[in-house]
């Protein structure tokens, strides 16, 4: 090979090397672009969370009048919502009739000075009057009697009156007092330190430590018996919603105060039976937590896409579409999110059919917005099927929703998003949960989302925002029991305070009676009768209780 050919070969090799270098540089540039796009998305999300709103909900135009929307086959009708009457608002309150008498000097005629005769009384107006909380010290005295004839013979035959069983031994706690503290703490999210201030305003001192000890004692000794029976009933159901949220416990063996703990929650679904809501404190988010709690359950579990639920055996997982939709929502640039609406099956707000745009309009939308439209379309269809019976709903889902799902999966297969981007995460999430997202169509009682459980998690989160943390593991466990009792009472339309009071009123004497405990469950006729009206702690008191109808 001559020198000229060698030069040509060397130049050719150098050109090949340059081409490879250029190719590598292009790949590096593309990778850097992807990284920059991902970092920008992350930065936008941090800015939104730091300076914007953390909710998916978008601002809606304020309306001067509330409206109710009725969906008819051919059109939509909007009418004014009927204004609630006073009877609707105050009908359960007792009426105290106050007749204002005529002054004695006004009973004589100003013209002839004759004494007037009574004619009638006339209704003028009504007003609401409230008496702030009244606290009394109840001193129990026991009567002691002796037989006089036996006394003559030098024999002491005595009889003593029966004193009501103390709620907590050697404590001034009463059923009404502990029910009040529990209602304020759990039902109204008022921490103990605020209650301590309130009690001081009422004229006495009740330390926050004392209140905490009362709740722990009654939760462990009385309410847990109700909780355990509710748990037993929940495991017999066919459908359960599950979720979890974080909490903090300051003093727990083997853990630091900074470590994150979890409050798991489980609630029955749309099965037409008595609603049950249970909370379970656990120091971790391991799948073994839900596995142990739902041991013996063999139905359908509606949940999010957390992998820990995969440890459940002999169950059908139903993944929440709202979680998948949320990821598409987060993939939409912040500036374009403001124009988006997120539909919900159970919201009071009337919703319209968004529909799927034609190809021309689809070209003007981002992939994340298109994914959101598919999800909203499914939520809208679910809204139209809400009032149907379970079996008919299942049939209509196959007819109406199955085609939408098929379009969605076909469209999703055409996407090739950047790895690590928010759109990529949304697409991967949906594809990874392909089967479980559609499992709700197996049973008409299932729901398209897990919002039922999310709302129960919010109830605890509102309280957590106020009290911030649990001091001890015992306190966290007691809170789980008390939240379960309160939320289950609320779900069964019971007066929460009255239910807490009734359980504490009878449980000291019936804690070892299965028949007595059954009468104190939220589904018993006795509880429905006693706890469906207004608060009454005066006619049914420890020393003179209504008999518990145990058979």
Domain boundaries, the chain: 321-447
**Which helix (H) or strand (E) covers residue 302, if one does?**
strand 300-303
Contact 316, 294 (CB under 8 A): no
Q: What is the pTM of this model?
A: 0.82
Q: What is the largest CA-CA distance in the chain?
A: 150
What confidence tens digit (pLDDT) does each residue in 167-179 have?
A: 999 999 999 999 9
- Return the pLDDT at 34: 64
Statement: residue 77 has pLDDT above 60: no
Rounded average pLDDT over 459-465: 93
What is the pLDDT averaged over residues 64-82?
A: 47
For 9-49, the pLDDT digits (tens) are 777 777 777 777 787 787 777 667 667 766 766 676 666 66
Categorise residue 94: left if φ over 0, alpha if ψ from -120 to 50, beta otherwise: beta
Q: In this model, does residue 514 exceed pLDDT 70?
A: yes
Query: What digits encode the pLDDT tens for the residues 474-488?
Result: 999 999 999 999 999
Task: Give 387's DSSP letter.
Answer: T
CA 80 remoteness from chain centre: 30
Q: Please give the pLDDT value at position 65.
A: 43
pLDDT higher than 80, residue 447: yes
Query: SS3 for 301?
Result: strand
Exposure b/e, 259-298, CB count within 10 A at least 16 = b: eebbbbbbbbbbbeeebbbbbbbbbeeeeebbeebbeebe
What pLDDT, on the 0 to 100 scale, is given for residue 66?
Answer: 46
CA 13 remoteness from chain centre: 69
pLDDT for the residue numbered 420:
79
Of 309, 288, 289, 308, the C-alpha closest to 300 is: 309
Give per-residue pLDDT as tens, 256-311: 999 999 999 999 999 889 999 999 999 999 999 999 999 999 999 999 999 999 99
In tens, the pLDDT along 308-345 reads 999 999 999 999 999 999 999 999 888 888 777 777 77
Q: What count of residues does the chain have?
A: 551
Q: Say how many C-beta atoms besides its own lie within 10 A of residue 341's C-beta.
A: 13
CB crowding 138-164: b at 16 or more within 10 Å, else e: eeeeeeeeeeeeeeeeeeeeeeeeeeb
Averaged pLDDT of the chain? 87
For the segment 394-423, what is each residue's pLDDT rounded down to a tens digit? 999 999 999 999 999 999 999 888 877 889
Instruction: Give the per-residue pLDDT at 69.
Output: 47
Q: Determine the pLDDT at residue 224.
A: 97
Residue 417 has a pLDDT of 85
| Confidence at residue 79, expressed as pLDDT on a 0 to 100 scale | 47
Measure Cα distances from 124 to 92, 98, 121 in Å. 21, 11, 9
| Angle between helix 422-432 and helix 367-384 axes, rounded to 10 deg | 40
Q: What angle do CA 238, 241, 58 make, to 5 degrees?
A: 140
């Amino acid at each position: 090979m001559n020198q000229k050919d060698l030069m040509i070969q060397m130049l050719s090799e150098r050109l090949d090397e340059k081409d490879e270098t250029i190719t590598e540089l292009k790949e590096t540039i593309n990778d850097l672009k992807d990284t920059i796009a991902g970092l920008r998305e992350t930065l936008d999300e941090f800015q939104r969370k730091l300076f914007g709103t953390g909710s998916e909900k978008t601002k809606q135009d304020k309306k001067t009048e509330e409206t109710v929307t009725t969906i008819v086959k051919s059109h939509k009708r909007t009418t004014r919502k009927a204004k609630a009457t006073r009877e609707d608002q105050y009908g359960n309150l007792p009426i105290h009739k106050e007749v204002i008498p005529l002054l004695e000097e006004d009973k004589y005629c100003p013209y002839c000075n004759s004494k007037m005769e009574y004619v009638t009384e006339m209704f003028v107006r009504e007003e609401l009057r409230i008496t702030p909380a009244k606290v009394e010290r109840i001193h129990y005295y026991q009567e002691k009697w002796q037989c006089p004839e036996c006394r003559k013979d030098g024999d002491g035959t005595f009889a003593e009156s029966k004193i009501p069983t103390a709620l907590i031994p050697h404590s001034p706690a009463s059923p009404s007092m502990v029910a009040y503290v529990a209602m304020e703490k759990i039902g109204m999210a008022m921490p103990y330190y605020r209650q301590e201030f309130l009690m001081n305003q009422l004229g006495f001192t009740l330390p926050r430590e004392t209140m905490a000890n009362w709740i722990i004692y009654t939760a462990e000794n009385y309410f847990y018996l109700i909780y355990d029976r509710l748990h037993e009933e929940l495991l017999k159901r066919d459908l359960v919603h599950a979720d979890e949220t974080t909490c903090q416990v300051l003093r727990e063996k083997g853990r630091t105060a900074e470590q994150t703990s979890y409050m798991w929650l489980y609630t029955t679904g749309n099965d037409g039976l008595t609603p049950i809501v249970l909370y379970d404190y656990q120091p971790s988010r391991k799948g073994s937590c839900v596995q142990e709690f739902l041991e013996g359950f063999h139905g359908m579990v509606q949940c999010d896409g957390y992998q820990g639920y995969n440890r459940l055996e002999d169950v059908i997982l139903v993944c929440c579409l709202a979680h998948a939709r949320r990821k598409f929502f987060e993939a939409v640039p912040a500036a374009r999110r403001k124009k988006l609406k997120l539909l919900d099956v159970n919201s009071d707000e009337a919703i319209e059919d968004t529909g799927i745009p034609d190809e021309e309009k689809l070209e003007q939308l981002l992939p994340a917005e298109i994914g959101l439209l598919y999800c909203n379309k499914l939520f809208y269809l679910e809204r139209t099927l809400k009032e149907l019976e379970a079996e008919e709903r299942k049939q209509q889902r196959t007819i109406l929703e199955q085609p939408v799902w098929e379009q969605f999966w076909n469209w999703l297969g055409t996407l090739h998003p950047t790895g690590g981007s928010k759109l990529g995460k949304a697409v991967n999430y949906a594809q990874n949960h392909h089967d479980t997202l559609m499992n709700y169509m197996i049973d008409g009682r299932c729901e398209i989302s897990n919002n039922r459980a999310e709302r129960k998690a919010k109830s605890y989160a509102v309280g957590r925002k106020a009290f911030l943390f649990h001091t001890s593991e015992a306190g966290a466990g007691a809170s789980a029991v008390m939240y379960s009792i309160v939320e289950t009472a609320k779900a069964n339309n019971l007066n929460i305070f009255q239910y807490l009071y009734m359980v504490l009123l009878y449980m000291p004497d019936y804690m070892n009676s299965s028949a007595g405990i059954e009468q104190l469950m939220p589904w018993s006729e006795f509880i429905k009768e006693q706890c469906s009206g207004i608060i009454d702690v005066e006619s049914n008191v420890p020393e003179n209780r209504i008999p518990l109808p145990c058979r």
